[in-house]
């Protein structure tokens, strides 16, 4: 079945490639060793109300974050098609799964972009639309479950995914099953959807593959200094998955949670911060460039991440590598863009590279934006003890173990979603 949607006015989730303001060159920015206050405008005035936040500071932060770090998102596609594949049964008939092939076109000559393959799994006998977790995976949808009905990805995969020369093989089916706990998600009354990040862009420092070339101007071979890097491209892909999910009558379109692990955790926060259709975000162990402070001194630094993964951000962000105090925001500003929607930062005690304590500090620094909206149950005053979920709108959790996503983590994620959904 083919469904076509015309997306002309997705104002909540799309912005132009063109910057709305000419911000200062990096070397002209003032030194700010302290975390820039989320309620203080770039020019110095203070935000005092929800109206001022939503009309002034929130748009300004979106500009600053794109201009200096992730790059500008392109607009949503004008046309988008959803091709639904045949259903199949899962978990002894308790769930039904199907694939959605998402294709879209953009203005530049009506170019058709590579398809995004979305796996959707829903409880079979739900009497009402269900809340849903949307996840981004590293290795292909076929690694989440062993079912042959799930298409073996043709996109680039990491060698660690069990493929050969960055190509998926049949033997990798179901290899990531225990990372996701989809059976538990269904048992708890939630739906689940997932896509492979490389459907949008391979995780390589190469802007001649993936989605970027489709947006180049004539003669262009790489993104400009303020155009999007790979993390922003992945986030744009997540928003395209949401384009489909909000059309499915079996999904509660007001209860879509976006989750990602590690670099895809960075993506989950960015995508949700810029798309208010995403009701809740869980950037799991996202670390530097996601939920850890750029000005931090623990774990991965801005210099290290730019050297190791130069394609993740725009071409301006590396200029801060030796002078992070000139960044006119920090990652608490990205968290603040979620306000008043809930966000859970989840960590592991051995994952010091991701700076778990610094991440809790980012929640505290983001709180003034959430305070504007009022209400209780925001954030614990002190970092929660090991194994204890702090389930406020600014949520936090840290467990034993290392940099990984486990079935035990999913119990925490579901408990957090239950609190807010």
Give pLDDT, residue 124.
97
* Residues 38 and 116: beta-carbon distance below 8 Å: no
**Active site (annotated) includes residue 167:** no
Give pLDDT, residue 22.
87
Give pLDDT, residue 414.
99
* Residues 224 and 72: beta-carbon distance below 8 Å: no
Give pLDDT, residue 110.
66
Ramachandran area for residue 305 (φ above 0: left; ψ -120 to 50: alpha; else beta): alpha
**Active site (annotated) includes residue 262:** yes
Give pLDDT, residue 163.
87
* Residues 382 and 398: beta-carbon distance below 8 Å: no
Domain 2-420 is found in CATH 3.40.50.2300: no
Structure-derived torsion over alpha carbons of residues 315, 139, 398, 252, reported in degrees to the nearest 10: 90
- The rounded distance, in Å, linking the Cα atoms of 315 and 124 is 46
DSSP at 205? S
34: buried, middle or exposed (CB in 10 Å: 19+, 13-18, 0-12)? exposed
Pick the catalytic residue: 126, 166, 175, 403? 403
Domain spans, the chain: 2-420
Give pLDDT, residue 401.
98
**Who contacts 195 (Cβ-Cβ below 8 Å, separation ≥6)?**
116, 117, 118, 119, 136, 137, 141, 237, 238, 241
**Who contacts 224 (Cβ-Cβ below 8 Å, separation ≥6)?**
315
Q: Helices 230-245 and 263-273: crossing angle, nearest 10°? A: 60
DSSP at 264? H
Q: What is the pLDDT along the chain (421 residues), one digit of tens a residue?
A: 777 665 543 434 443 455 556 899 999 999 999 999 999 999 999 999 999 999 999 999 999 999 999 999 998 998 899 999 999 999 999 999 999 999 998 766 667 899 999 999 999 999 999 999 999 999 999 999 999 999 999 999 999 998 889 999 999 999 999 999 999 999 999 999 999 999 999 999 999 999 999 999 999 999 999 999 999 999 999 999 999 999 999 999 999 999 999 999 999 999 999 999 999 999 999 999 999 999 999 999 999 999 999 999 999 999 999 999 999 999 999 999 999 999 999 999 999 999 999 999 999 999 999 999 999 889 999 999 999 999 999 999 999 999 999 999 999 999 999 999 9
Pick the catalytic residue: 262, 281, 301, 333? 262
Structure-derived torsion over alpha carbons of residues 24, 29, 34, 39, reported in degrees to the nearest 10: -30
State the sign of the Cα–Cα–Cα–Cα dihedral 208, 213, 219, 222.
negative
């Amino acid at each position: 079945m083919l469904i076509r949607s015309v997306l002309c006015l997705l104002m909540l989730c799309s912005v132009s490639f063109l910057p709305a303001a000419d911000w200062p060159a990096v070397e002209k920015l003032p030194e700010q060793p302290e975390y820039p206050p989320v309620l203080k405008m770039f020019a110095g005035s203070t935000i005092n109300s929800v109206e001022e936040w939503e009309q002034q500071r929130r748009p300004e932060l979106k500009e600053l974050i794109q201009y200096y770090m992730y790059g500008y998102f392109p607009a949503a596609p004008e046309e988008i098609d959803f091709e639904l594949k045949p259903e199949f049964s899962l978990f002894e008939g308790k769930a039904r799964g199907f694939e959605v092939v998402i294709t879209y076109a953009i203005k530049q000559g009506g170019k058709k972009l590579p398809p995004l393959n979305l796996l959707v799994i829903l409880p079979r006998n739900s009497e009402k639309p269900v809340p849903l977790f949307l996840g981004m995976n590293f290795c292909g949808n076929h690694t989440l479950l062993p079912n042959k009905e799930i298409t073996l990805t043709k996109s680039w995969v990491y060698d660690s995914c069990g493929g050969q020369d960055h190509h998926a093989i049949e033997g990798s089916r179901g290899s990531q099953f225990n990372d996701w706990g989809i059976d538990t998600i269904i048992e708890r009354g939630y739906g689940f959807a997932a896509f492979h990040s490389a459907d949008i862009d391979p995780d390589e420092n190469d802007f001649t593959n993936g989605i970027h070339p489709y947006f180049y101007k004539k003669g262009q071979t790489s993104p400009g200094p303020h155009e999007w890097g790979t993390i922003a491209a992945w986030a744009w892909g997540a928003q395209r998955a949401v384009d489909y999910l909000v059309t499915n009558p079996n999904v509660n379109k007001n209860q879509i949670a976006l989750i990602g692990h590690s670099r895809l955790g960075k993506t989950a926060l960015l995508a949700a911060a810029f798309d208010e259709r995403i009701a809740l975000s869980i950037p799991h162990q996202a670390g530097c460039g996601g939920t850890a402070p750029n000005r931090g001194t623990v774990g991965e630094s801005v210099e290290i991440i730019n050297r190791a993964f130069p394609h993740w951000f725009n071409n301006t962000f590396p200029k801060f590598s030796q002078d992070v105090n000139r960044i006119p925001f920090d990652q608490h500003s990205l968290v603040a863009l979620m306000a008043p929607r809930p966000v859970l930062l989840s960590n592991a005690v051995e994952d010091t590279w991701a700076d778990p304590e610094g991440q809790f500090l980012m929640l505290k620094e983001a709180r003034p934006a959430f305070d504007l909206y009022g209400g209780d149950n925001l954030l614990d005053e002190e970092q929660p003890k090991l194994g204890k979920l702090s389930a406020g709108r600014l949520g936090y959790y840290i467990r034993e173990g290392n940099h990984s996503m486990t079935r035990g983590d999913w119990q925490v994620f579901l408990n957090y979603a239950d609190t807010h959904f």
